[in-house]
Amino acid sequence: MAKKIALSACLAGKNCRYNGERKGNPELIEKLEKEGCEIVYFCPEDACFGTPREAMDLTVTPEGVKALTKFSREDRTGPIVEYAEKFFEEHPDIDLFVGKARSPSCGVCTGKLYDEEGNLISEKEAGIMAAEAKARGVEAKDDESLM
Ligand code: SF4
């Protein structure tokens, strides 16, 4: 049976990145299509906040790891978690989650984590939606690890 893959929409060249620019991974899409995979696209940030939008950083706060906008420091974690929960409830049969590397929403093992003073603590974190995939036991990989 074909694998069902959840994939960050920007990897397919959709201009949903925070700055509206395209930065796809056409080789990966071609590889998955050749393998006969069923691909379900997602983009929590575009769905919740529109494009373009202020970029976010994963930040350690007293309430845990949050996605805060880079300059206005608005906490955007809640809507992304809600989007992710709804996505996985609608697609309980996902075999593999593939997230855009380094994204604070979708990166799987490559997200940058900062403290509240803006100091870099780690570059190996899961973004907010990727963390939801992992918490549900869904296998999850960064796009770059599949190439
Ligand atoms: S990395 Fe995730 S949130 Fe960011 S543009 Fe791509 S799909 Fe959307």
Among 45, 77, 81, 125, name the best residue to mutate to test ligand 1's pocket (greatest count of ligand atoms within 8 A of Cβ): 45
How far CA 45 is from CA of 16, 82, 117, 127, in Å, comes to 8, 11, 24, 12
Q: Any idea what the CATH number is for the domain that residue 96 is in?
A: 3.40.50
Q: What number is the average pLDDT over the span 85-91?
A: 98
The answer to whether position 98 is within a domain reads: yes
Q: Specify the ligand 1 atom closest to the Cα of 100.
A: 1
Q: Determine, yes or no, domain membership for 29.
A: yes
Q: What is the pLDDT of residues 119-134, one digit of tens each?
A: 999 999 999 999 999 9
Q: Calculate how far, in angstroms, residue 135's C-alpha sits from the geometric centre of ligand 1.
A: 19
Q: Given a cut of 80, is residue 1 above it in pLDDT?
A: no
pLDDT of residue 2: 79
In a domain? residue 94: yes
Contact 109/127 with Cβ under 8 angstroms? no
Alpha-carbon distance 75 to 72, whole Å? 9
Residue 34 is part of which domain span? Answer: 4-54+77-108+125-146
Domain count, the chain: 1
Q: Does residue 59 fall inside a structural domain?
A: no
Residues in the ligand 1 pocket, defined by CB under 6 Å? 8-10, 16-17, 43-46, 100, 103, 105-106
What's the pTM value of the predicted model, to 2 decimals?
Answer: 0.96
Name the CA radius of gyration of the chain, rounded: 15
- Residue 60 in any domain: the answer is no
30, pLDDT greater than 90: yes
Give tens-digit pLDDT for 51-69: 999 999 999 999 999 999 9
